[in-house]
Structure 1
């Protein structure tokens, strides 16, 4: 028991640089208090002392602001930072070395009995305010961004952000590896369509940029397949003539851009022109007469 308590306190030191000493963590960290009380209530729950376990769980919520159902299963070195507003449902399964921040919900989407809450594998980190809803698995080492709403399975090592949650980084090979995309060809396609990911890296992923990149990769794969089909047709039929697709040039869009610029400039001139009713404006002299 004391060995497990020391392990929990050491996990706080590893993940919270504000922790200073053993006594401070033991007496002033509500996440640790909620975890210790949950272990007691979970033991009572398994002994079929349901009312007593729920009463202890309610006391824990009143004391810490963290609601953990006594039926939830939580692994070792579990850490809740700050903790206020955290809710963990009855059938939730939490692995080892998992970290939750304030406002996290591990909830369900069904009123049916049985497994209805998520399973968090080892090493998962869930940001503040995130909602993970449903009986699916969040893979080991995955990261859930703040305020994300996740309703489907997350692969190991992935990073999920947004509402609904979208994967912006994953440990599996990216789409270009699956499609065998030539980097030089991809760059040419990006320049052809004027797409620029504005320096987005793996450390600062952008879902829209990745979606655009995936579309360009798909277009590259379709282009390669069409070229292969045309070459096969030429071999089968000597009279087959291949038509070239028209190139996209910047000049093709010049008229649209000029109209847009002229419209903007005219609006700007109207907004900056002096009003006829302006008292400070000087009267305009009449044109000279030819008589």
Structure 2
């Protein structure tokens, strides 16, 4: 048991460079919340629901993290900072990282449908701060949910999801999948190719227009070029087009 605790603390330290020792990690809100959830989940499985809720509410008061006792959580789960909500039927795999203000939410409970209502996060998932993952969907292994994304559809393995409603960045997985990306969002390069392609297209159009202006300028007599003939030529062409 001691070895498992040390292994867990080391896994947290690998994802968070700020602590100077394992003792410091032990007082992290996310670590305390996970430890209390283990107790609450054991009570929940024993059908001691009231006592499980007591532990749950004490944990929420202490850490500002609300993990329903029914949630199933794997090894090396790390909540970096607090204000996170994890629903009853949520399932979380191994080595998952969640940042602050994340919700693993459920479908509308007033529709009378029970069963699986909350998402499943597979191994190695990273959920950025402020993200909302809603409904009984599956987030594939090593997927990244960017900050403030709202995810309501299945997420493929290795995908990076951004935006509202969240969409994949369409970056090839082999280019971006690393052991760990803070906040689930690659920041050292553009994470979406479309804006880059658009900028390149605009630069090509500007270059073509520049060549046209230079060609028209060379076609004018020298005196007109000196007197601003380019502007007159554009004015004449514009008035002709209007006619």
- The aligned residue for residue 155 of structure 2 is 154
Q: Structure 1 segments of 4 or more deviating over 3 A?
A: 169-173, 206-212
Match of 1:8 in 2: 8
CA–CA distance in structure 2, aligned partners of residues 208 and 109 of structure 1 = 33
Q: Of the two, which has the highest radius of gyration?
A: 1
Residue of structure 2 in register with 1:204 after alignment: 190
In the alignment, what sits opposite 1:24? 24
Task: Provide the C-alpha distance between the structure 1 equivalents of 2:197 and 2:152, rounded to a whole number of angstroms.
Answer: 20
Q: How does 1:1-291 map to 2 (within 5 A)?
A: 1-26=1-26, 28-82=27-81, 84-111=82-109, 112-171=113-172, 203-206=189-192, 209=195
SS in 2 for 1:169: coil
Give the secondary structure class of the aligned counterpart of 2:61. helix
Whether the 8 Å contact between 1:157 and 1:170 is mirrored in structure 2 is: no
Where does the alignment leave 5 or more consecutive residues of structure 2 unmatched?
175-186, 199-207, 214-230, 236-243
Contact 2:32–2:63 under 8 Å retained in 1: yes
With a CA cutoff of 8 Å and minimum separation of 6, indicate the structure with the bigger relative contact order. Answer: 2
Cα distance in 1 for residues equivalent to 2:197 and 2:103: 28
Name the structure 1 match of 2:217.
none
- SS of match in other structure, 1:53: helix
TM-score by length of 2: 0.72
Given that residues 169 and 202 in structure 1 are in contact (C-alpha distance below 8 angstroms), is that contact kept between their aligned partners in structure 2? no
Give per-residue Cα distances to partners, 1:215-250, cap 9 Å, x unaligned: xxxxxxxxxxxxxxxxxxxxxxxxxxxxxxxxxx97
C-alpha distance in 2 between matches for 1:22 and 1:98: 19
Taking structure 1 as the reference length, what is the TM-score of the superposition? 0.60
Q: Distance in 1 between matches of 2:164 and 2:74?
A: 28
Stretches of structure 1 that go unaligned for 5 or more consecutive residues are: 174-200, 213-248, 263-291
Could you report, residue by residue, the CA deviation over 1:112-171 in whole angstroms, capped at 9, with x for unpaired residues? 210010000000000000000010100000000001000000001100000010100355
Given that 2:171 and 2:191 are in contact with CA atoms closer than 8 Å, whether structure 1 keeps it comes out as: no
Instruction: Name the Cα RMSD after superposition.
Output: 2.8
Kindly indicate whether the alpha-carbon contact (under 8 Å) linking 1:156 and 1:170 is maintained by their aligned counterparts in 2: no
* 2:66–2:86 CA contact under 8 A, matched in 1: yes
For 2:154 and 2:100, the matched residues in 1 are separated by: 22
Take 1:210 and 1:136, find their aligned partners in 2: how far apart are those partners?
31
Given that residues 129 and 146 in structure 1 are in contact (C-alpha distance below 8 angstroms), is that contact kept between their aligned partners in structure 2?
Answer: yes
- Please state how far the C-alpha of 1:203 moved relative to its aligned partner: 3.5
Q: Structure 1 residue 24: deviation in Å?
A: 1.3
Contact between 2:80 and 2:97, CA under 8 Å: does it hold in 1? yes
Write the distance in 2 (CA, Å) between the matches of 1:95 and 1:133.
Answer: 17
CA 89–2 in structure 1, closer or farther in 2 if over 3 Å, else same: same
